[in-house]
Structure 1
Amino acid sequence: MTYIKNRRQFMKTTGLSLAGLPYITCNLIKSPPSDKIRVAHVGVNGMGSSHIRWFAGFEDTQTVALCDVDDHHLAKAKNLLSSLQTGGQVDGYGDYRRIMDRKDIDVVTCATPDHWHALVAIHAFESGKDVYGEKPLSYSVKEGQAMLAAKQKHNRIFQLGTQIHAGDNYHRVAELVQSGILGDIHTVRLWKTGGTSGLRYPEFQDPPEHLDWNMWLGPAPYSEYTPVRCHKTYRSFFDYSGGVFADFWCHIADIMYMSIHPTGLSSIDARGEVPTDGIADTPKWIDVDYKFEGLDVHWTTTPPDVPGAKDMGIGAHFEGTKGSLTCDYNTRKIRIGNDVMDDVNEVPKSIARSPGHQRNFLDSVKSRNEPESHLAYAREMTLPMHLGLISFRLKRKINWDARSEQIVGDAEANAMLFRPYRSPWELPNNG
């Protein structure tokens, strides 16, 4: 069976030739004569290990390549895959651009640090590959715009790794909110407990031989190596991410967008602190007030003072003119008058249930129909997170023009819609 009729020619190179790596070009080709979707995984530690397990579990996929800048991660991933998949050669790479030059790969999954998400996805789109990419969608607003342009130009499929999106609870919450039993929703409260700790003041040191630190940094600003800036704690640094807020925003904002799809964002006002006991600089805590058209949205680091929220580490609370609904990933409570309930049987199922997040993506690769967490949806949902961090870092309210996607009357804030890449990396232009 042929899933992808042909590949688009990789007309643009990555603009790079680090360490003698040649420019990458692909000829227009046909998909391999196979009934399997051929998968490559980029970033194979942590969540990347989950990617390996998930995609190896489908009969219609075959993993053919693994990539990681840490040789130890790559070796561990090869061992994991060998326990899950038999037959077929699996190649290992330290530079993801080698995968983009492969003519026999249909799908790339990306579980790299946040500052790599956009480049890996865009280069995959340009080389004719579909992408299952981890959250957050991108490091910056402009990267999200560039990802969408490249996806549309090259007619590719993208699914954001918000796995909870596929769960029945989120679907049911959306049905309940959309049914009107809560009345008109005027306020949504979102929260996630926890924040960045300082990580003290470790000294810089030579990176280990098994880690290509320069490649790990990629488009991010250069820094000398210290372990806390890498791997598990990289989200503690604005050079690579935006802390717990950036990590979890999309998981709980997702249910808001599934349920009411807010539009007309006009103002963003963030408050918070960074740690004072170390080199980390992403939020120790952050609260953000958002003004949408007809809707107030409040993000807090501690649970809001509403019924049922106190013991929830992450949650969403919908306030309507007739009642409220409080939920997390797996539970929900509806309050209408004096009644408290888990469900309202009179509200019918109106949203088709997911076959599973990864299965939905693979089905879309075959059908060429958009998956559930497609790129346009993911970009719109991710945008308020980026703007919240800009307001936080500038310590002032910003006003947003949703039509032009510009911050109003604030050149300094607008400059933060994109963080320039470290040479020689460049953000491709597919406009």
Structure 2
Amino acid sequence: MLIETNRRTFIKKAGLSMAGFYYFPHLMRKPAPSDTVRVALIGINGMGLNHLRWFAGITEVEIAALCDVDENHLKKAAETLKEIRPDAKPKLFTDFRRILDDPEIDAISCATPDHWHAQVAIMAFQASKDVYGEKPLSYTLREGELMFEAMKANNRIFQLGTQIHAGDNYHRVAELIQAGVIGKVHNVKLWKTGSPPVFEKATYQDVPKELNWDFWQGPAPERRYHPERCHVSYRYFLDYSGGIFQDFWCHIADIVWWSINPQKLESISATGSKSAGIGDTPDSINIEYKFKKLDLSWSSEIPDVPGAGTKHIGAFFTGDKGTMLADYSSREIRIDGEVLKDIEDIPKTILRSPGHQQNFIDCVKTRQQPESNLAYAKEMTKPMHLGLISWKLGRPLAWNYKKNEFKGDIEANNLLFRPYRDGYNWIGA
């Protein structure tokens, strides 16, 4: 008797049989048609177009659907995909829920504005879809916890879009620090320079006919439309994001959590100014974090540390034997006055990535969690949320790491989650 196995079940079973090849995914780049992973893209402007190009460049991926609340974005994305894959015939949607209804979709990528990240991911998990999610992980801390619970409950795969994580430099920095070349790390300085754009006033106007503005706002507070508040520049309004700080935190904090995994956060103290004009995210922000055995800081200015020079983003580790300066693509070790790029005697102990998006697709098949997995991402993202809360309130905050809440501070704890706007609470949070 012939038992027919549907395509999604086949992929899962085939993936499990591939587990032995997980660390060598390049050996399996020519899949059979039945091994194709069908991906849908939600939010396809800006970074979403990068998602499209990345996934369209992976042989075993079929981009089966595109979704955006702006029909102009849909048209542009469909044309871009056609240039890369002339035979592509994706379904087009303006409501991402229609994608989740399709049982033949295996995974989604989400590059919506920040305030939509959590609900899209949670609903995708509930619909048995795996998720490649753009950073930041979520708009609030509690949303990250809800995402993790939904992922576990539905046995799903998640990769956070921290593409720099896949590069060799971050792998090597983590190896060197974990090998103890600078000793026990007791202080880390993080920084990212730059100010947000200044919007002098809101240019209120009618909503463009191709844009569903109500859906774009979704769970965020309802506001009158003006273009400064929408595509791309939404990032500089606290209704949707946290400005430059929230945009870049995970890219550089990633190497800290990977290298030393800070534990037992005790306090957060943020200062800084608000951006000029109608935007309300930080123009500058300086944060002091105190962990049980580590002091960590964030600054909008380049710190006075050896080698920082004109680096506009970086991490400076201080250990009891030396220091390490790192950014996206370089590193400098200082020990006893000597400056080194590497220490060849330290072996490579961290397996290299096949590519960030390829790693995700491989894991959809093997059912192993990828490099920037959700358990890791939510802990790495947590201090970002807490630092922004301290900045909003304008005062230091004490953190109870055992209870995962602020100590005796109702006002601060209320900011760990923002209730969703009526009509857009689709996960019952």
Q: Same fold (TM over 0.5)?
A: yes
Q: Provide the secondary structure at the position in 2 that maps to 1:306.
A: coil
Contact 1:316 1:326 in 2 (8 A): yes
> 1-side partners of 2:373 and 2:181: how far apart?
28
8 A contact 2:205–2:226 mirrored in 1: yes
Equivalence for 1:95: 95
Deviation at 1:86, TM superposition (A): 3.5
SS in 2 for 1:272: strand
Report the equivalent of 2:299. 300
Q: Tell me the distance in 1 between the aligned counterparts of 2:405 and 2:190.
A: 24
1:16 maps to: none
Whole-Å separation in 2 of the counterparts to 1:429 and 1:224: 26
Q: Which residue of 2 aligns with 1:261?
A: 261
**1:128 is paired with a residue of what secondary structure?**
coil
Which amino acid is 1:233 matched to?
A: S
Distance across 2 between alignment mates of 1:330 and 1:223: 40
Residue 112 (structure 2) aligns with: 112
> Aligned equivalents of 2:427 and 2:215: distance in 1?
18
1:331-368 Cα shifts (integer Å, max 9, x gaps): 01110011001011111111111111111111110000
Q: How does 1:48-127 map to 2 (within 5 A)?
A: 48-127=48-127
Alignment-mate amino acid for residue 329 of structure 1: Y
Deviations 1:64-117 (A, max 9, x none): 100011111110000000111243531111110110101110010000000000
Q: Hey, what does 1:341 align to over in structure 2? A: 340
| 2:207–2:213 Cα contact (<8 Å) kept | yes
State how far apart, in whole Å, the 2-side matches of 1:359 and 1:203 are: 42
Which residue is 2:369 aligned to? 370
Task: State the shift of 1:429 in Å.
Answer: 5.4
How far apart, in 1, do the equivalents of 2:105 and 2:338 lie?
54
Please list, as runs of the form range in 1=range in 2, the aligned pairs for 1:2-401 lying within 5 A after superposition. 2-4=10-12, 34-276=34-276, 278-401=277-400
Residue 404 of structure 1 and its aligned partner are, at CA, apart by 1.2
Aligned residues, how many?
404
Q: Distance in 1 between matches of 2:34 and 2:205?
A: 47
CA distance in 2, matches of 1:181, 1:117: 38
* Secondary structure in 1 matching 2:35: coil
- Supply the distance in 2 between the matched residues of 1:368 and 1:346 (Cα, whole angstroms): 34
- Give the Cα separation in 2 of the matches to 1:413 and 1:392: 11
| SS at 1:199 equivalent | coil
Q: Does residue 1:410 correspond to 2:399, yes or no?
A: no
* Aligned partner of residue 132 in structure 1, secondary structure: strand
The DSSP-based 3-state class of the residue aligned with 2:282 is coil
- What do the CA deviations read for 1:283-339 (whole angstroms, capped 9, x no partner)? 000000001120000100011100111211110000001100001000011100110
The one-character-per-residue Cα deviations of 1:219-253 (angstroms, maximum 9, x if unpaired) are 00000000000111111000000000000000000
Structure 1 counterpart SS, 2:150: helix
Contact 1:37 1:60 in 2 (8 A): yes
Range moving further from structure 2, 401-410 or 150-159 = 401-410
Q: CA RMSD in A?
A: 1.5
Find the aligned partners of 1:303 and 1:310 in 2 and give their Cα distance: 8
1:160-191 residue CA offsets vs partner (Å, 9 max, x unmatched)? 00000000000000011111110110000001
Deviations 1:240-288 (A, max 9, x none): 0000000000000000011000110110000000023x11000000000
Letter matched to residue 286 of structure 2: D
Offset of residue 35 of structure 1: 2.2
The secondary structure found in structure 2 opposite 1:244 is helix
In the TM superposition, residue 203 of structure 1 has moved relative to its aligned partner by: 3.1
SS in 2 for 1:138: coil
Matches of 1:328 and 1:192 in 2, distance apart? 10
- Residues 65 and 90, structure 1, Cα contact 8 Å, conserved in 2: yes
Q: Which amino acid aligns with 2:222?
A: Y
Secondary structure in 1 aligned to 2:11? Answer: coil
Cα contact 1:159–1:361 (8 A) shared by 2: yes
Percent of aligned pairs with the same amino acid: 54
More helix by share: 2
Q: d(CA) in 1 for partners of 2:180 and 2:89? A: 54
TM-score, with length taken from structure 2: 0.92
Distance 1:117 1:182 in 2: 37
Residues 11-67 of structure 1: per-residue CA shift (max 9 Å, x gap): xxxxxxxxxxxxxxxxxxxxxx83210010000111111111111111111001000
CA distance in 2, matches of 1:364, 1:103: 19
CA distance in 1, matches of 2:83, 2:49: 12
Q: Secondary structure at the match of 2:135?
A: coil
Q: Which position in structure 2 is the counterpart of 1:17?
A: none
Q: C-alpha distance in 2, partners of 1:197/1:273?
A: 14
Secondary structure in structure 1 of the residue aligned to 2:225: coil
> Which secondary structure does the structure 2 equivalent of 1:151 belong to?
helix
Inter-partner Cα distance in structure 1 for 2:144 and 2:65: 26
Aligned partner of 1:361: which letter? F
Q: How far apart are residue 381 of structure 1 and its match?
A: 0.3
Contact 1:270 1:391 in 2 (8 A): yes
- TM-score (norm. length: structure 1): 0.92
- Check whether the contact 2:274–2:284 (CA below 8 A) recurs between aligned residues: yes
Q: Equivalent residue for 2:25?
A: none
8 Å CA contact 2:271, 2:285 repeated in 1? yes
Which structure 1 residue ranges, 5 or more long, are not aligned? 6-32
Find the aligned partners of 2:426 and 2:418 in 1 and give their Cα distance. 10
Alignment check: 8 A CA contact 2:44 2:52 kept = yes
